[in-house]
Amino acid sequence: MIKFLDLHKINERFRTQLDARFKEVLDSGWYIRGRQDELFEKHFATYTGAQHCIGVANGLDALNIIIKAYGFGPGDEIIVPANTYIATILAVSANGCTPVLVEPDIRTYNIHPDLIEAKITPRTKAIMVVHLYGQAVQMQKIWELAQKYHLKIIEDAAQAHGAEYQGRKTGNLGDAAGFSFYPGKNLGCLGDGGCVTTNDAALAAKVRALANYGSDRKYHHIYKGINSRLDELQAAFLDVKLPYLDADNARRREIAAFYRSHICNPRITLPQTYDEKSHVWHVFAVRVQNRAAFQKYLEDNGIQTVIHYPTPPHKQEAYREWAAHSFPVSETIHREIISIPISPVLTDEEVRETVHLLNAWK
């Protein structure tokens, strides 16, 4: 069986170092917001090129706290892609803001930069871009719109650690960014984790306070905050894995390049990218017409697949108020998309076998 994602195998590579850091944290007697957090935040900020990094409990909280820190709330609109994981949109709703959905570009699956301006109103406060499936959004037009209409750009970088646009990494392409370190992400911890990156010192301080009961120093509360902190263990594990992220992403790129040059079945639409460095291939999502049969065929032949995602956010029960809305491009993607195995621990043999089976599908 070729696993979609073998998390045990991924983390096994770091066992000795993870064990050592676990012991260090256990022995320290300090488990939340300490030395490990500080180290990882410093290293991840340097990695992204952003000046500040604040560890939080997960990716959804990262986005939620950014919106809170800007003070956006009821009556404010935030532009989001219609094609995304629902967490992006939940973060907007959680603050009482109105998510305004924009269709994706069918070639990149990311928000279509040319369709955003028509959705901007006097109530629009921010554009939330999602670097979906690991591909950095083409930002140029979005930067221009943000400047023209005085909007904030918030990145949902949960799937795109290390992806680049014009030589800059995600997390440093807007005003603030949220990352997730959920175990299956390109940089994942052994539990839940996330962070916010930004070049805005005041925003960073506010995010840090908001994530710790709105407190800027102990028992002194300047905001009605929440509890969303990255614990020392997860920070330590992330700090072990971060130095290998680029090599892991390079391996993902190598596999993606092999897939793209060797899968040649007219019934399978391959993902496109506009520049090699822009994509870190969090998932390799292909499109097919008869998805259920395709998935069963691969399953029967020992290949696990996952669908990212079966139902678009606007068709979810949680957003029943949008049931009548139509986003046909996003709906087509959700109907046809299916992700085949890609990960840094996939072997060449597994990659060749996957190609062979995809090419043999009739």
Ligand X SMILES: *Cc1c(COP(=O)(O)O)cnc(C)c1O
> For ligand X, which residue of 54, 56, 158, 190 counts as binding (CB under 6 A)?
158
Contact status: 113 vs ligand X (CB under 6 A)? no
Contact status: 130 vs ligand X (CB under 6 A)? yes
Are 24 and 232 a contacting pair, CB within 8 Å? no
> For the window 55-94, what string marks contact with ligand X as x by the rule CB under 6 A?
---xxx-----------------------xx-xx------
Contact status: 159 vs ligand X (CB under 6 A)? yes
User: Rounded to the nearest whole angstrom, what is the least distance from the CB of residue 361 to ligand X in the complex?
Assistant: 28
Contact status: 156 vs ligand X (CB under 6 A)? yes
In the complex with ligand X, the residue whose CB is nearer, 248 or 350, is 248
Contact status: 211 vs ligand X (CB under 6 A)? no
Cis ω before 109 (30° cut-off from 0): no
In the complex with ligand X, the residue whose CB is nearer, 308 or 355, is 308
Stretch that binds ligand X, among 53-61, 134-142, 168-176, 295-303 (CB under 6 A): 53-61
Ranked by CB distance to ligand X, the top (closest) residue is 59
Contact status: 182 vs ligand X (CB under 6 A)? yes
In the complex with ligand X, the residue whose CB is nearer, 180 or 330, is 180
Stretch that binds ligand X, among 43-51, 156-164, 213-221, 268-276 (CB under 6 A): 156-164
Q: Using CA atoms, how far apart are residues 158 and 130, in angstroms rounded to an integer?
A: 8
Structure tokens at 348: 């060449």
User: Rounded to the nearest whole angstrom, what is the least distance from the CB of residue 88 to ligand X in the complex?
Assistant: 5
Among positions 219-278, residues that touch ligand X (CB under 6 A) are: none
How many residues belong to the site for ligand X (CB under 6 A)? 15
User: Rounded to the nearest whole angstrom, what is the least distance from the CB of residue 130 to ligand X in the complex?
Assistant: 5
In the complex with ligand X, the residue whose CB is nearer, 110 or 357, is 110
In the complex with ligand X, the residue whose CB is nearer, 185 or 355, is 185
In the complex with ligand X, the residue whose CB is nearer, 92 or 355, is 92
In the complex with ligand X, the residue whose CB is nearer, 263 or 333, is 333
In the complex with ligand X, the residue whose CB is nearer, 188 or 225, is 188
User: Rounded to the nearest whole angstrom, what is the least distance from the CB of residue 164 to ligand X in the complex?
Assistant: 18
Q: Using CA atoms, how far apart are residues 7 and 354, in angstroms rounded to an integer?
A: 19
Phi-psi region of 143 (alpha: psi -120 to 50; beta: other; left: phi over 0): alpha
3-state secondary structure the chain: CECCCCHHHHHHCCHHHHHHHHHHHHHHCCCECCHHHHHHHHHHHHHHCCCEEEEECCHHHHHHHHHHHHCCCCCCEEEEECCCCCHHHHHHHHCCCEEEEECECCCCCCECHHHCHHHCCCCEEEEEEECHHHECCCCHHHHHHHHHHCCEEEEECCCCCCCEECCEECCCCCCEEEEECCCCCCCCCCCCCEEEEECCHHHHHHHHHHCECCEEECCEECCCCCECCCEHHHHHHHHHHHHHHHHHHHHHHHHHHHHHHHCCCCCCECCCCCCHHHECCCCEEEECCCHHHHHHHHHHCCECCECCCCCCHHHCHHHHHHCCCCCHHHHHHHHHEEEECCCCCCCHHHHHHHHHHHHHCC
Contact status: 127 vs ligand X (CB under 6 A)? no
Integer CA distances (angstroms), 123 to 100, 101, 112, 146, 167, in order = 11, 14, 21, 14, 32
In the complex with ligand X, the residue whose CB is nearer, 196 or 263, is 196
User: Rounded to the nearest whole angstrom, what is the least distance from the CB of residue 218 to ligand X in the complex?
Assistant: 27
> For the window 289-328, what string marks contact with ligand X as x by the rule CB under 6 A?
----------------------------------------
In the complex with ligand X, the residue whose CB is nearer, 337 or 351, is 337
- Binding-site ranges for ligand X (CB under 6 A): 58-60, 84-85, 87-88, 130, 156, 158-159, 180, 182, 192, 194
